[in-house]
Amino acid sequence: MADAEAIRAFEHAGWERAAGGYEASFATATRTFIPALLDAAGVEAGQSVLDVACGPGFVTAGAAERGAIVRGLDFSAAMLGVARTRHRNIVFDQGDAEALPYPEGHFDAVISNFGIHHVPRPIEALRQAYRVLRPGGRLAFTIWAAPSENIAWKLVFDAIRSEGDMAASRAPAPGGGFGTPTDCESALEQAGFTGISSRKLTGLWHHANGRALLDALRAGTARMAALIEAQSATDIPGIVAAIDRAAAAYRDADGLAIPIAAFVAYGHKA
Ligand SMILES: C[S@@+](CC[C@H](N)C(=O)[O-])C[C@H]1O[C@@H](n2cnc3c(N)ncnc32)[C@H](O)[C@@H]1O
């Protein structure tokens, strides 16, 4: 595994850069799974809820809409700037998922939507979530499914593999390698959780065409953006054309309706 601080620095720079365009790009995918995440954590009115790696705070706001008393936490000042502007009545804290700045047993639920797998040591982040939960409190988090079942990613990876260079990115390897429900459940177990389970979630991500899909991933992500930006400019038209060819099966009247898939994993503190 690459050095944890190198992963953290890479992720931090990536999310600082993505923050401004995130809502219009990647959030159109991540927001699909908010209700399922809140259900998995059993979020309801009156509960004290922490949203880890909150980004622009859409999940935090979703929990607040259910009547929970919420806080969002992220390490990116740029993401927090967007969150504080978009959701003026919610408190957002700057901090790292591996070192949560809250006392033990403080929250009824901890949630994280597509955040945990970006942390250099995801099990550390889960241990921190466990620490700040009250006994009986619940954690739920989402990760993306592997490209074989997550078609938006598959389209881009396949196109880069055939028309570009999959090895071009200089990004350090991710710390967690979370790609399957088993990875998530085993990490939850190592962090001390019980009552562990997970389930697959599916949705559709709408784009006008292959170029729009590539642009959304370039604008609103860290690791995928690094891969796309590392492609030679002369290869991009071929990559876009390959995405469009392979995406023909997902065409509808408005453009492309591309299947996306994720897992929500959850457990509680005994
Ligand atoms: C894909 S975005 C998800 C944002 C939000 N949860 C959503 O559903 O739209 C990943 C977020 O994780 C945050 N993040 C990554 N590593 C982190 C860490 N070690 N500590 C806190 N936040 C982190 C990034 O700044 C970014 O906002």
pLDDT digits over 205-262, tens only?
999 999 999 999 999 999 999 999 999 999 999 999 999 999 999 999 999 999 999 9
Q: State whether the beta carbon of 25 lies less than 6 angstroms from ligand 1.
A: no
Domain boundary assignment for the chain: 4-268
Mean pLDDT, residues 65-83 taken together: 98
For the chain, percent of residues with pLDDT exceeding 70: 99
Confidence check: pLDDT of 1 > 70? no
Confidence band of 179 (pLDDT split at 50, 70, 90):
confident
Does this model's pTM top 0.85? yes
Q: State whether the beta carbon of 262 lies less than 6 angstroms from ligand 1.
A: no
Torsion of CA 202, 203, 205, 210, to 10 degrees: 40
Using the Cα atoms of residue 29, residue 30, residue 31 and residue 32 in order, give the sign of their dihedral: positive
* Tokens matching residue 56: 């622009």
Q: State whether the beta carbon of 30 lies less than 6 angstroms from ligand 1.
A: yes
* Tokens matching residue 27: 């959030």
Q: Measured between alpha carbons, how far is 163 from 209 in angstroms, rounded to an integer?
A: 17
Write the secondary structure of 149-174 as one string of H (helix), E (strand) and C (coil).
CCHHHHHHHHHHHHHCCCCCCCCCCC
Q: Measured between alpha carbons, how far is 248 from 256 in angstroms, rounded to an integer?
A: 8
CA 239–ligand 1 middle distance (angstroms) = 28
CA 74–ligand 1 middle distance (angstroms) = 6
Q: State whether the beta carbon of 75 lies less than 6 angstroms from ligand 1.
A: yes
End-to-end CA distance of the chain: 31
Q: Do you know the residue count of the chain?
A: 270
Q: Measured between alpha carbons, how far is 113 from 55 in angstroms, rounded to an integer?
A: 9
Contacts of residue 5, Cβ cutoff 8 Å, sequence gap at least 6: 120
Contacts of residue 136, Cβ cutoff 8 Å, sequence gap at least 6: 268, 269, 270
Mean pLDDT, residues 147-175 taken together: 96
DSSP 100: -
In CATH terms, the superfamily for domain 4-268 is: Vaccinia Virus protein VP39 (3.40.50.150)
What does the pLDDT read at residue 98? 98
What does the pLDDT read at residue 176? 74
| Identity of residue 112 | S
DSSP 140: E
Going by C-alpha positions, the residue among 54, 58, 192, 182 that lies closest to residue 115 is: 54
What does the pLDDT read at residue 177? 73
* Tokens matching residue 7: 């992963």
What does the pLDDT read at residue 2? 66
Give the distance between the most distant pair of CA atoms in the chain.
56
Confidence check: pLDDT of 3 > 80? yes
